[in-house]
Amino acid sequence: MLRFIVRRVLGAIPILFGLSVILFMFLRLLPGDPAIAILGQHATPQLIAQIHETLGLDKPLYVQYLNYLGQLLQGNFGASIIDSRAVADTFAIRFPITVELTIGALIFAVGLGIPLGRLAARHPNGWIDGLVTVVSLFGISIPIFVLGYTLAFIFAVELHLLPYPGPIDPRLSVDPVTHFPIIDAVLSGNPGAVVDAFAHLILPAIALGSIPLAIVTRITRASVIDVSNEDYVRTARAKGLTRKRVDDRHIMRNAWLPVTTVIGLQVGSLLGGAVLTETVFGWPGVGSWVVTSIQNHDYIVVQSLILIFATIFLTVNLIVDIGYAFLNPRIRYS
């Protein structure tokens, strides 16, 4: 197992290196100039040249990349071109907000997707299976921003049932101790702030979790049906074991592998989907920061965040692969 982990970690190095090269070159081919974004209406050729010299943008691309790579190897993700704040410092403030939204969406997707998938698998080709299929197709076919604005309009603007926008009402004056809105609300000792933080999470979590919900539902259904047709399941039923025991001990234990894979892969898609969701619902997380940085041509922030997301995605995949050995003892890594 240790050898497998080391091999996977070493294999991630060329992936991240190649990604850094592609990102660095691609972002600098995009139209726009960060100096103009900084200066705005005061931009003149002289001031633009001065900003280029200050930021090192007047140097050849390979020199700029080597300087950036040297910073990365030292654990330094650089500083924003726009406000000069260290990327790591801003990331530490914004990332917990994105994590809370991602966890909420994952709980919604997994907590509802697995039971729906199991329910559909128990009635294959029946009306329940058809209804679950329609719901899952409905969830996967609607773009996140369309669903987000629709939910906000119906439940926040028209019905006034849920708050919008932001992660918490700013009038509650909750101190950002951990930068997790719900945890900070709990630490504040204000029950109203806790309820408000949970209420603010509902709509964006549903919008972000709609696509993973559909995928988890479909994979769970297919996996459960596939395992239910195995000989050892029919043997267990012939022995007179209860339906619950057959489901828990024989079907789900073997159906978990593909479901676990999908759940692990959805973490990456949730981080990517947070860009749209945070923009729609006004969450000051990493996703909305990426959008602002792209608009301002803040190369350093964009490429650093994508590399961080890639590292998180690779780490989650490694954890999922390691988890296979615990879910299925027959799997061994050499």
According to DSSP, residue 330 is labeled T
What the block records as the tokens of 128 is 């329940």
pTM for this model (two decimals): 0.85
Using pLDDT thresholds of 50, 70 and 90, give the confidence band for residue 318.
confident
pLDDT greater than 90 at residue 268 = no
Using pLDDT thresholds of 50, 70 and 90, give the confidence band for residue 330.
low
Residue with tokens 């403030």: 93
Whether 292 contacts 278, CB under 8 Å? no
What pLDDT score was predicted for residue 26?
82
What's the angle, vertex CA 138, arms to CA 137 and CA 144, rounded to 5?
Answer: 110
CA distances (Å), origin 107, targets 31, 104, 202 = 39, 5, 11
What pLDDT score was predicted for residue 194?
93
* Burial of 102: CB neighbours in 10 Å, binned 0-12, 13-18, 19+: buried
What pLDDT score was predicted for residue 109?
92
Distance between CA atoms of residues 261 and 255, nearest Å: 11
Residue with tokens 């240790």: 2
Using pLDDT thresholds of 50, 70 and 90, give the confidence band for residue 154.
very high
pLDDT above 70 covers a percentage of the chain that reads 95
What pLDDT score was predicted for residue 325?
65
Average pLDDT over residues 132-152: 87
pLDDT above 90 covers a percentage of the chain that reads 27
Q: Which fold has domain 87-327?
A: MetI-like fold (1.10.3720)
pLDDT greater than 80 at residue 131 = yes
Domain segments of the chain as ranges: 87-327
Average pLDDT over residues 301-323: 83
Q: What is the mean pLDDT of the chain?
A: 85
pLDDT greater than 70 at residue 327 = no
Distance between CA atoms of residues 274 and 118, nearest Å: 28
The per-residue pLDDT for range 196-240, each reduced to its tens digit, is: 999 999 999 999 999 899 999 999 999 988 888 888 888 888 888
Indicate the SS3 state at residue 197: helix
Using pLDDT thresholds of 50, 70 and 90, give the confidence band for residue 183.
very high
Amino acid residing at 58:
D
Q: List the one residue out of 121, 125, 123 whose CA is nearest residue 113.
A: 121
Whether 246 contacts 252, CB under 8 Å? no
Whether 246 contacts 236, CB under 8 Å? yes
What pLDDT score was predicted for residue 202?
95
The per-residue pLDDT for range 37-88, each reduced to its tens digit, is: 677 767 778 888 887 787 777 788 888 888 888 888 888 888 888 888 899 9
- Cα-to-chain-centroid distance, residue 30: 25
40: left (phi over 0), alpha (psi -120 to 50) or beta: left
What pLDDT score was predicted for residue 333?
57
What's the angle, vertex CA 92, arms to CA 314 and CA 94, rounded to 5?
Answer: 95
Distance between CA atoms of residues 300 and 84, nearest Å: 10
